Amino acid sequence: MISIIYLFFLVSSVKTSDYSLIINEKSSIDKPIFTFPYSYELINNFQSNFNLTNNNTKLILTKIIDRDYWCIENICSCDYCSFILELFSNYNQIPKFSTINITINDINDHTCQFFDIQTNILLSESIQIGHRFPITRAIDYDSGINGKLSFKLLNNEDYFQLDIIPLSMNEYAIYGIVKQLLDREINEKYELIIEGRDHGLSQAKINRTKIAIEILDENDNAPKFSQIEYSIHRPILSSSYYQFSFDCIIY
């Protein structure tokens, strides 16, 4: 009976106090990021990134947190990076189990990167309008809206347009589409400048890449004479006047 009463007293004396904290990734280390009202001990230490100082009342970072790396390594969610630290206090000899929920905000520290770039694209001049061809792949290693990208073709918009295929929340495949018939005799090369811009709220980051397109010749023109009838005068042989007629046969 006595042991039951003691157990009841012990359980009733254990209190839970929850805290919450939001910090930006890559915040400074060894500086207090949260102050507790009591001295605590860390029961768990997520990724060994935290420590307690000043009589165990102040929480500090011991390592730089790279949220984008954590996202790639599946350490935390790419959409919402949050985790819980568990703490224990015996302040005034009253045991307290507490938790602090820590959320890591993404900062816009990455710009659009282009990969698998088709540096020299060959297109036949007989290619049809609407033909689609691969150009490049783009990714922004930031998370959330900071990693969302928009693309724009900055030149030769009369002949080409972009077709953007989302591969994930921050990765895209970029294709080109032919808008007009191409004629190598008019223009044998095109250069496309593609701009990628993220949706960072504080300040958008921009990157550009250049693509060269070469138009291949097709046998689509027959030989032509500038006139149907030609006259040749040869005064050395004689004073005769010779006249030749040529028929231009077009195949």
Task: Report the DSSP pairing between strands 96-105 and 15-24.
Answer: parallel
pLDDT digits (tens, 9 = 90+) for 161-213: 999 999 988 999 999 999 999 999 899 999 999 999 999 877 899 999 999 99
User: Which residue, of 105, 125, 149, is where some domain finishes?
Assistant: 105
In this structure, are 87 and 130 located in the same domain? no
What's the CA gap between 70 and 26, in Å, rounded?
12
In this structure, are 183 and 124 located in the same domain? yes
Structural domain tally of the chain?
Answer: 2
Q: Which of the 8 DSSP states describes residue 128? A: P
User: Which residue, of 49, 83, 105, is where some domain finishes?
Assistant: 105
- SS3 of residue 109 by DSSP: coil
Asked whether residue 245 is assigned to any structural domain, the reply reads no
In this structure, are 79 and 119 located in the same domain? no
In this structure, are 119 and 211 located in the same domain? yes
Asked whether residue 249 is assigned to any structural domain, the reply reads no
Ordered per-residue pLDDT tens for the chain, 251 residues:
444 333 334 444 444 458 999 999 999 999 999 999 989 999 998 889 999 999 999 999 999 999 988 988 889 888 889 999 999 998 888 898 999 999 999 999 999 999 999 988 999 999 999 999 999 999 999 988 899 999 999 999 999 999 999 998 899 999 999 999 999 989 999 999 999 999 987 789 999 999 999 999 875 555 666 666 666 666 655 545 445 454 544 44
The pTM assigned to this predicted structure is: 0.69
Q: What's the CATH number where 87 sits?
A: 2.60.40.60
In this structure, are 87 and 122 located in the same domain? no
In this structure, are 142 and 83 located in the same domain? no
Asked whether residue 8 is assigned to any structural domain, the reply reads yes
- For residue 176, what are the domain limits? 113-216
**Residue 136: CA atoms inside 13 Å, Cβ hemisphere, count?**
23
In this structure, are 179 and 129 located in the same domain? yes
In this structure, are 40 and 59 located in the same domain? yes
In this structure, are 122 and 199 located in the same domain? yes
Asked whether residue 223 is assigned to any structural domain, the reply reads no
